[in-house]
Each structure stands twice: as structure tokens, then as C-alpha cells.
Structure 1
Amino acid sequence: MTAMTPPTRTQPDLSYLLDHTSHVLRTQIAAALAEIGLTARMHCVLVHALERECTQSELAEIGDMDKTTMVVTVDALEKAGLAERRPSSTDRRARIIAVTEEGARTAERSQRIVDEVHEQALGALPEGDRKTFLRLLDHLATGHLSSPTPSPTPARRARQSSR
């Protein structure tokens, strides 16, 4: 049997680099938020529910969560006294996720934690390269890599931006 030679790579494996660094960053954020009793999903719901009146479905879409995960997340926020389901002020048929005063304080704290984890990650880069890196990554995320390509066997979808 003849040994086969793998193809020569001509470029770094961009998919691996982006997947690996994203995974590690998510684990760091998860660990940091766990110290205050939150998950990244709980943080996402609190922050986005504070931005504007959102239904549970709208928040699920923003956070790229399925219905079951969203229900579990909101149940946990309610149990912790951080959010509650309320009737919408604009559509009496809809229920929104309203953040409590304690939830708003927690969201402020959790955002500082997430910002600190991001700052630590960027701190690994030379100071002069940080803004350039973010600008170029944003250019990819809002340009060429902004929308998935349809495929008969879809790849696992990444969490949506929390902008």
C-alpha cells in the first residue's frame, strides 16, 4: 500500500482559528458569569430586554436560542427575581420579558464582567493592533462573512451578535 501525502496548506486554518478562539472566549465568559450566578444566555436576555420591550420569541431570536432553551432561561431569571413576564404595553396578546430593578443591577454587573473578559482577551494582542483587529473582524462579520451560505447539510450555527 502506497502512503498518501496530505495536501500542503497554503494558508492558516481560519475556520479552526476562529472556532477555537471563540470557544475559549465563551468558556471564559461562562466561568466569569457563573461567579455571580448567571449564564451567558441569562446575561444576553437581561441586556437585550433592557434595550427595548421584547417578547420571549424576539429575545430567543436575538440570542439564537430555541424555544425550550428560552423558556428555561426566563424561568431561571424569574426564579432569581431578575426578570418577569408581563403583558406588552403595545399588544395585549403579547407578553414581554421585563427586567426587575435587581435584574438591571445584575445586568450592569454582568456587562462589566463580559467587558473585562473581552479586555483580557484583547490584552493578549500588542496595544497598537487591538483596534485594527476589531475593525477587521467587524468588517468580516458585517461583510463577506455576514450571512451563512445555504447548504444541504447546514453547519452548526454560531450565537448571534449581541450588538
Structure 2
Amino acid sequence: MSTRTAAQQISSATGYMLLRLGDLARERIERELRRWEISGKELRVLGYAHERELAQRDLCELCGMDRTTMVSVVDKLERLGYASRARSDVDRRKHLVVLTGRGRQVVEEALAHMAEVEAAFLATLDPAERRQLNDMIARLYVANDPARSASP
């Protein structure tokens, strides 16, 4: 029988520590993204749309969001002047999300800033440990969420 308390067992469990670490990372990321008035969710949409014009439906799948959430996200990005909707020339039923020049600039600024934030967050690890942690997390992600295995 373990002499550790239930609280000690819970707080030292890998899954629980990952959950808490994820909360801390999310809080830091969300706080840092406020300078552009966006959230991590909105940055994810901007990031995918930065590569090419995508239909809202395709963005839902890539970002793991339902249609209602995506509409809300794209509405906000339009209000901020970071994106606009355009009808597809190929399929007029589709609404493409198109980044504006300002939207492209925000993605590039935010990504550069987030790299600094991540480096500070992971500062207790040396570069080899950071790569190893990233590799292990990516493997766990793919193994436990095959629907998102394309790009963790």
C-alpha cells in the first residue's frame, strides 16, 4: 500500500501534470495574443489561411472546430480586418477565408513572438531536451488522436 496521499498521487501523475502544464501554456499564450486581440484558436485559423485560401468547412476540419465556432472565429477576424470571406470561383457555395495584408502581418508577428514565449516557457530545458519533448508529445498526439495526425 502506498504511503502517498491521494492528492500526491494525483498531482504527480503524468497525465495530470500534462493537463496542468497545458493549462499554464494556454494561459500564457492567450495572454500574449491579446496584443493582437486574438486567441490561440483564432491564430490557428489565421495560420492555416496564411498558407492558402481555404473554405470555412475545410478550416473546420483542419482546426478541429465545429461550424458554429468557425463562423464566430471568422466573423471576429473580419471585424479586426485580418480576414475576409470570398466566394469560390470553382464552387460558388463555398466561402473561402482570405487573409488581408494586415492578417498576414499579424500571423508573422504573432508567430515570431510566440517562438520567444515558447523559448521562455521551456527555458529550463536545453535544446536537445526541447526537441526530445516535442518529438514525444507529437508521437503521443498522433497515437491518441489519429484524426489530427496530419499536423500536430
Q: Tell me the TM-score normalised to structure 2 length.
A: 0.81
Structure 2 vs 1, CA of residues 77 and 117 (structure 1 numbering), >3 Å: closer, same or farther?
A: same
Question: Residues 79 and 34 of structure 1: is their aligned pair in 2 closer, same or farther, counting only changes over 3 Å?
Answer: same
Identity %: 30
Question: Using the alignment, how far apart are the partners of 2:71 and 2:115 within structure 1?
Answer: 26
- 1:25 and 2:17 matched: no
Task: Please say which structure displays the higher CA radius of gyration.
Answer: 1
Q: Distance in 2 between matches of 1:160 and 1:38?
A: 25
> Relative contact order: is structure 1 or structure 2 higher (C-alpha 8 Å, sep ≥ 6)?
1
Q: Of Structure 1 and Structure 2, which has the larger fraction of its residues in helix?
A: 2
User: What is the match of residue 42 of structure 2?
Assistant: 42
Equivalent residues of 1:63, 1:162 under 8 A apart: no
Matches within 5 A, 1:31-110: 31-110=31-110
Per the alignment, do residues 104 and 49 of structure 1 end up closer, same or farther by CA in structure 2, a change over 3 Å counting? same
Q: Which amino acid aligns with 1:86?
A: A
Distance in 2 separating the partners of 1:161 and 1:30 = 24
Letter aligned with residue 129 of structure 1:
E
Gaps of 5+ in 2: none
Q: Does 1:129 align with 2:129?
A: yes
Amino acid at match of 2:116: E
| Cα distance change of structure 1 residues 42 and 105 upon mapping to structure 2, 3 Å threshold | same
Give SS of 1:35's match: helix
Counterpart CA distance in 2 for 1:114 and 1:60 is: 23
